[in-house]
Amino acid sequence: MSERRLYLDDGCGERRGVVTLDGRPERLILERDGDPPEQALGARVVARVRAVERAAGLAFLDLGVGPDAVLNVSTETGPLVVGQAVEIEIRAQSRREKGASARLVGPAEPGPPRLLTPPPSLEEQLLACARGVEDIRTGGVARSMADAAQDEALRTEFALPGGGSIAIEPTRALTAIDIDLGARGGADAKRSARAANFAALGVAARVLRLKGLGGLIVIDFVGRGHDGPALLSSARAAFGADNPGVALGPISRFGTLELTVPRRARPVLDILTGETGQPSALTLALDLVRALEREGIADAGGRFVGIAAPEVAEAASPALSALAARLGARFTLRAEAGRARDASEVARA
């Protein structure tokens, strides 16, 4: 029977929630200082209709902060007009190339866009991911688990139990998953391929949840002559935690499975990385502040300096103030021109 556990790392500038499945990270929920609650999943907002595209059946909603949300206009919503105030609920968070998706609650009193009901807290989100689990672990064990979850979320390739691996690569249109038999082959290649394919479904489902990826997923199975009904049954079980809304197609003659997984939370990579796909300055800055905090806890009287590239040092400044409030004004930052963005370090001041 699968076991889920919950962890909450309450850091300076960022809180990180982790759900593990049988000891491996399954979900990573990031909450950073300054994140607008109006854009968060589950928030209820009074929005202003900024534009209506009747041909596409879409309305674009000004939330007061961040990108416009998108609302599907139908006979159920009724006609909407530019400037109208409506109450909406955020049903799917914004992605790098698209705004949040909204559900219409009803008309609202005129006025500027404003938050009505805040989104669920990080603790509430964690508990919702593991029904029946009430213990949320904190402290050092949560920090270690959050670090491990973040490292894994940034990876592309993942090992399979028993050998082989999968590569998960999102594109604008879909997320492609390739299964590699690797050294798992042997005298009975067909049996090895079958075992790898079934193992890949469980790993893929877990990692997609960890990365927060949804939409169209295409899995390229290894080998030939697949047992379609058995693979589909295994896929339904593996992706059961993503319901409601998972839809699976048949195994194609090319050995691929197409499925759709509902998009809800913002993809983790959108939060952790920049346009180049590398960790953003803020992500690196928060890593640096956690390193400073670790040294500060280990040496309660020591003074430490974080040395970083200028943009990383600048991004770390607000979180450093929070660290000073937590452990005392024993920490400073030094911007060093020419230093690589990913080469931050901590030294004694």
Contact 140, 293 (CB under 8 A): no
What pLDDT score does 105 carry? 95
Q: Strand, helix or coil at 306?
A: strand
Which CATH class name applies to 42-117? mainly beta
Q: Give me the pLDDT at residue 24, please.
A: 96
**Domain locations along the chain:** 4-36+122-149, 42-117, 154-267, 273-348
Between β-strands 215-220 and 175-180, what pairing exists: parallel, antiparallel or unpaired?
parallel
CB contact at 8 A, 61 and 50: yes
Going by DSSP bridges, is the β-strand pair 101-107/58-62 parallel, antiparallel, or unpaired?
Answer: unpaired
End-to-end CA distance of the chain: 51
How far, CA to CA in Å, does 30 sit from each of 41, 125, 275, 334?
Answer: 12, 11, 19, 27
Distance CA 98, CA 104 (A): 18
In terms of C-beta distances under 8 Å and separation of at least 24 residues, what long-range contacts does 73-82 make, across chains too?
A: 76/104, 77/104, 80/49, 80/52, 81/49, 81/52, 82/49, 82/50, 82/51, 82/52
| Topology annotation, domain 4-36+122-149 | Nucleotidyltransferase; domain 5 (3.30.420)
CATH of domain 273-348: 3.40.1260.20
pLDDT at 189: 77
DSSP, residue by residue, 311-334: HHHHHHHHHHHHHHHHH-S-EEEE
**pLDDT tens, residue order, the chain (349 aa):** 589 999 999 999 999 999 999 999 999 999 999 999 999 999 999 999 999 998 899 999 999 999 999 999 987 778 899 999 999 999 999 988 789 999 999 999 999 999 999 999 999 999 999 988 999 999 999 999 999 999 999 999 999 998 899 999 999 899 999 999 876 655 577 888 999 999 999 999 999 999 999 999 999 999 888 899 999 999 999 999 999 999 999 999 999 999 999 999 999 999 999 988 899 999 999 999 999 999 999 999 999 999 999 999 999 999 999 999 999 999 999 999 999 999 999 999 8
Reading the block at residue 276, the tokens are: 């180049």
